[in-house]
C-alpha cells in the first residue's frame, strides 16, 4: 500500500504539525506533500523525521517563507497541482486548502480537518480589521472565491476526522459532511504536575486580535490587588503594553522550559479566545494549574467546570474579572485526580490508538 500525507504548509512546529508527526509515524513509509516547506532542520527532524516534502509552485515564489499568506488566492490552484497518482491512501491535515486535493475514485482520502478555512468563514472581519479600504475590498472578492471553491471541493475527501465536536458542527454546517472526532495529541508528560503555586495569574498566546489578550489585560485593571504575567509576542504586543496597569507584567516569548515553569507555578491560566480546541488549556491542566476560560468553543470539551477550571460567559474585562473573583473566593482546592483524569483523554498514546483504530476499521493497516 502506498500512502501520502499532505498538509497546507510546513513552516513552524505548531499544533497541526504535532498531529502531522503522529499521523506520519503510523506508517513505515509515507510520501509527504505541502504547498510550501520551510521547516528548520530541528523542526524537520522532530516533525518529519528529517524528510523533505514535495511542494507546489508557491515554494519558489518571492518571499514565500514569510509572506505565503499573500498568495492565498492561488492556494486552490496550487493544492490541485500536486500529483497524488499511484497512491492508495492519502491523508490530509487541513486548516486551509489541503482537503481540496484531487484524487480518483479508486483512492481513499482521509481528511483530518482542523477547521474549515477560518479567515474565509468565521473570522473574515477580524482578519481584515486592520486592512485599508482598497485591500479589504480586493480581499473580500478573493475570499468569496475561496468560499465557493471550499464548498465545491468538500466531497473530495472520503472521510473527515476533526479535533473537536465544536469543529465537527462547523464541518456539518459548511460542508454538510459528518466528521469523526479524534482529539489531537498533547504531550501531557512534558508538563509535570506542581501543587505549590505562586501568587500570580498567567496567560500565554500569540499577540493577535482574535486571541483577545486585550480583554484579559483590561480585566486586571479592575483587579489591582492581583498580578498577571503575560507571555508571547506578536503584532498586538505594544498596544497591549499601553493598555496594561502596573499589576501586569510582560515577559515576551519564552522557551518551552520557562513557559512550563511559569504555567506550573501560576494560580490559574487564563484564556479568552474562541478556540477550535485549545491545546494550552490541556498543558496547563497537566501542570495542575486550573484554567479560567471563555465558555465557548473547544474549551467546553477540554475544561471541566469546578473540577479543572472555571468559565466566564463573555469576552469582556468585566466578565473575566467576575470569574477571577469567583476563583479567589473558592474554599475547596482543585483535586489532582481530576486534572489527571481529564488530561489522559488528550494524550499522544490515546491519539495513536484511536487513529489506528479508525484506519483499521476502514481496511488500512498501519505499523505495529
Within the chain, which residue ranges are assigned CATH 3.40.50.2000? 188-345
Q: What long-range pairs does 52-61 form, CB within 8 A, spacing at least 24?
A: 53/7, 53/10, 54/82, 56/81, 56/82, 57/81, 59/35
**pLDDT computed for residue 92 by the predictor:** 98
pLDDT at 127 over 80: no
Q: Which of the pair, 12 or 44, is modelled with greater confidence? A: 44
Mean pLDDT to the nearest integer, 186-191: 88
DSSP symbol at 10? B
CA distance 229 to 252: 10
Q: Which CATH architecture has domain 3-185+347-361?
A: 3-Layer(aba) Sandwich (3.40)
Phi, psi of 269 (to 5 degrees): -110, 130
- Give strand ranges (E) for the chain: 3-7, 31-34, 54-55, 89-94, 108-113, 159-162, 180-181, 201-204, 228-231, 248-252, 268-271, 291-294, 309-312
DSSP 88-136: SEEEEEESSSGGG----TTSEEEEEES-S-TTTTTSHHHHTTTS-HHHH
Beta bridge partners of 186: 347
Residue with cell 468559565: 311
User: pLDDT of 309-368, one tens digit each?
Assistant: 999 999 999 999 999 999 999 988 899 999 999 999 999 999 999 999 999 999 998 876
Across the chain, how many H-helices and E-strands are there?
A: 15, 13
Q: Is CATH 3.40.50.170 what the domain over 188-345 is classified as, yes or no?
A: no
Report the mean per-residue pLDDT for the chain. Answer: 94
Neighbours of 322 (CB within 10 A): 16
pTM of the model: 0.91
Amino acid at each position: 500500500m502506498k500512502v501520502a500525507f499532505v498538509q497546507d504548509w510546513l513552516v513552524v512546529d505548531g499544533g497541526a504539525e504535532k498531529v502531522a508527526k503522529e499521523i506520519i509515524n503510523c506508517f513505515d513509509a509515507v510520501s509527504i506533500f505541502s504547498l510550501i516547506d520551510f521547516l528548520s532542520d530541528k523542526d524537520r527532524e522532530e516533525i518529519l523525521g528529517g524528510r523533505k516534502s514535495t511542494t507546489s509552485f508557491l515554494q519558489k515564489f518571492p518571499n514565500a517563507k514569510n509572506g505565503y499568506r499573500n498568495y492565498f488566492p492561488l492556494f486552490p490552484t496550487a493544492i490541485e497541482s500536486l500529483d497524488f497518482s499511484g497512491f492508495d491512501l492519502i491523508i490530509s491535515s487541513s486548516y486551509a486548502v489541503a482537503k481540496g486535493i484531487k484524487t480518483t475514485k479508486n483512492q481513499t482520502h482521509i481528511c483530518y480537518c482542523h477547521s474549515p478555512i477560518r479567515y474565509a468563514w468565521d473570522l473574515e472581519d477580524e482578519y481584515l480589521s486592520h486592512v485599508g479600504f482598497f485591500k479589504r475590498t480586493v480581499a473580500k472578492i478573493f475570499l468569496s472565491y475561496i468560499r465557493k471553491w471550499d464548498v465545491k471541493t468538500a466531497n473530495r475527501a472520503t472521510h473527515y476526522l476533526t479535533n473537536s465536536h465544536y469543529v465537527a458542527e462547523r464541518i456539518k454546517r459548511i460542508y454538510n459532511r459528518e466528521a469523526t472526532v479524534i482529539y489531537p495529541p498533547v504531550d501531557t508528560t512534558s508538563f509535570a504536575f506542581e501543587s505549590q503555586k505562586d501568587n500570580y495569574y498567567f496567560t500565554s498566546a500569540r499577540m493577535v486580535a482574535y486571541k483577545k489578550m486585550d480583554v484579559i489585560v483590561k480585566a486586571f485593571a479592575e483587579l489591582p490587588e492581583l498580578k498577571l504575567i503575560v507571555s508571547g509576542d506578536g503584532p498586538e504586543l505594544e498596544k497591549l503594553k499601553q493598555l496594561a496597569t502596573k499589576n501586569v507584567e510582560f515577559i515576551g516569548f519564552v522557551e518551552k522550559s520557562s513557559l512550563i515553569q511559569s504555567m506550573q507555578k501560576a494560580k490559574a491560566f487564563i484564556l479568552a479566545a474562541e478556540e477550535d480546541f485549545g491545546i494550552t488549556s490541556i498543558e496547563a491542566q497537566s501542570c495542575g494549574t486550573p484554567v479560567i476560560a471563555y465558555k465557548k468553543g473547544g474549551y467546553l470539551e477540554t475544561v471541566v467546570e469546578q473540577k479543572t477550571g472555571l468559565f466566564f460567559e463573555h469576552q469582556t474585562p468585566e466578565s473575566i474579572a467576575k470569574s477571577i473573583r469567583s476563583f479567589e473566593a473558592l474554599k475547596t482546592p482543585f483535586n489532582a485526580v481530576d486534572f489527571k483524569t481529564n488530561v489522559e483523554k488528550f494524550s499522544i498514546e490515546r491519539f495513536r490508538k484511536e487513529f489506528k483504530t479508525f484506519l483499521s476499521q476502514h481496511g488500512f493497516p498501519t505499523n505495529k
